[in-house]
């Protein structure tokens, strides 16, 4: 689902010695050897820097920190800025006092979403579903309807999962609007939240989101479940990163994810966490259209 970024700043080209260099006098050979040694040291240093930069770039993408727009608001900050007349619905918990965490699922619904909903219902856990329009919302309207009916938050993850920052504003608007309309047709309500694919957003995306009444939601916990079918590993990655006011990113379209969810829920319950939807995490604040939220 997430792609590795290109690594820029490649090392300088190394020109290999010509055949006659090998027959140079001893003194010249020594000087040439010194130059080659310095060149190799520069190459190793350059290569190390490039590798470090590449690893950092990849880590940023995989952790959801690849957003081109760096101005974000945390759930705690949103709550603290809420006025006395704020209308966000807290449900049965006040996340300013309780140890809250939001469970979110991207890119569904899919073949395992029904099983996931059974688990959430059994454990009385609400979640937020960022749904894909093409081949998902349109293919599984009954699941979309069930997600809404059972009290989960239905949100937008675009129509076909492009990087919105690579699109012209009109194209980005179409990607979001098509999914808005498809979800409204099924549930009777347009989403108020969206998650940009790969967490990539910028000022143009924020402007389009605002026009469509959509707040942008990133994340703080990723199991990288697109890279493994090992449910035990997915669970471990989530538990290692989970913290108060966290937003967990999972995908209910990958084989290892849904089987990992019961264990994740049980373990976090034992740690004293309360599961909430993303709007409940920010209540009494109401997420503002166009704004980018990230713990």
Q: Which residues are catalytic?
A: 106, 251
Give the distance from CA 135 to its chain's centroid: 20
- DSSP letter assigned to residue 293: E
List the one residue out of 78, 135, 82, 76 whose CA is nearest residue 110. 135
CA 253 vs CA 99, 111, 171, 242: distances in Å:
28, 7, 25, 22
List the one residue out of 103, 210, 214 whose CA is nearest residue 158. 214
Calculate the dihedral angle through the C-alpha atoms of 88, 89, 95, 98, rounding to the nearest 10 degrees.
160
List the one residue out of 52, 116, 47, 159 whose CA is nearest residue 255. 116
Give the distance from CA 25 to its chain's centroid: 61
CA distance 163 to 198: 7
List the one residue out of 54, 128, 138, 104 whose CA is nearest residue 238. 104
CA distance 73 to 211: 19
CA distance 176 to 163: 12
CA distance 112 to 1: 17
Question: Torsion-angle region of residue 272: left (phi > 0), alpha (psi -120 to 50) or beta?
Answer: left
């Amino acid at each position: 689902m997430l792609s590795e970024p290109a690594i820029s700043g490649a090392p300088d080209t190394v020109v290999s010695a010509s055949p006659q260099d090998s027959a140079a006098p001893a003194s010249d050979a020594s000087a040439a050897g010194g130059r080659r040694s310095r060149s190799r040291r520069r190459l190793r240093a350059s290569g190390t820097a490039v590798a470090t930069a590449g690893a950092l770039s990849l880590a940023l993408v995989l952790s959801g920190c690849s957003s081109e727009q760096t101005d974000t608001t945390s759930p705690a900050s949103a709550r603290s800025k809420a006025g006395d007349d704020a209308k966000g619905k807290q449900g049965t918990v006040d996340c300013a006092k309780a140890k809250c965490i939001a469970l979110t699922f991207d890119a569904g619904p899919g073949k395992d979403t029904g099983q996931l909903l059974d688990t959430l219902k059994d454990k009385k856990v609400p979640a937020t579903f960022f749904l894909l329009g093409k081949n998902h919302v349109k293919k599984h309207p009954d699941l979309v309807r069930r997600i809404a009916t059972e009290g989960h938050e239905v949100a937008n993850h675009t129509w076909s999962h492009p990087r919105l920052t690579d699109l012209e504003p009109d194209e980005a608007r179409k990607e979001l609007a098509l999914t808005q309309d498809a979800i409204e047709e099924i549930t009777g309500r347009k989403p108020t939240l969206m998650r940009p694919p790969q967490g990539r957003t910028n000022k143009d995306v924020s402007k389009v989101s605002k026009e469509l009444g959509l707040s942008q939601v990133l994340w703080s916990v990723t199991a990288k479940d697109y890279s493994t079918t090992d449910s035990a590993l997915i669970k471990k990655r989530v538990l290692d990163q989970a913290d108060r006011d966290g937003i967990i990113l999972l995908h209910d379209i990958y084989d290892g994810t849904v089987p990992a969810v019961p264990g994740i829920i049980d373990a976090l319950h034992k740690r004293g966490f309360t599961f909430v939807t993303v709007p409940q995490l920010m209540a009494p604040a109401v997420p503002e259209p166009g704004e980018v939220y990230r713990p």
